[in-house]
Amino acid sequence: MSTEATLARHLNAIAQGPDAIMRDFTDDSVLITPDGALRGLAEVRSFFERFLAESPPELLAAFQLVRREIQGEIAYIVWKADPFIPLATDTFLIRDDKIVTQTFAAFIPAPAAS
């Protein structure tokens, strides 16, 4: 499977939930976020479970891929899910159909005060 195909599978898995998402990772995978590095299946799964649990259902429906760049084993995406996440970016190192390393950063505005 190519980097492009693995990325496409991963992006489709987001809507299917943590079990589908985790098929793209291994015990050696690392997810780097603004809060630090998460290593291995348990820590990576915890991140995705929390992200999905804290996201309103409309967020996934609002997902738009703004840019995708693939160079060999590296995939880079810029995406948004307005109005929840106006800007986010991920970089992936993909080998043997698995995500070895992923970075994630997003601008998530604070909820408006009522």
Query: Is the per-residue pLDDT at 33 higher than 70?
Result: yes
- The torsion angle over the Cα atoms of residues 4, 42, 51 and 108, rounded to 10 degrees, is -80
- Tell me if 114 is assigned to some domain: no
Which ranges constitute the DSSP H helices of 15-65? 18-22, 40-54, 57-62
Domain that includes residue 12, residue range:
3-107
Q: Give pLDDT tens digits for 10-21.
A: 999 999 999 999
Q: What is the pLDDT of residue 110?
A: 81
- Tell me if 112 is assigned to some domain: no
70 contacts 4 by C-beta, under 8 angstroms: yes
- Detail the DSSP E strand segments found in the chain: 30-33, 36-39, 64-71, 74-81, 85-95, 98-107
- Tell me if 68 is assigned to some domain: yes
Query: For the domain that residue 74 is a member of, what is the CATH number?
Result: 3.10.450.50
% the chain with pLDDT above 90: 89
Q: Give pLDDT tens digits for 48-59.
A: 999 999 999 899
Query: Is the per-residue pLDDT at 113 higher than 70?
Result: no
- Tell me if 11 is assigned to some domain: yes
How confident is the prediction for the chain on average, in pLDDT? 94
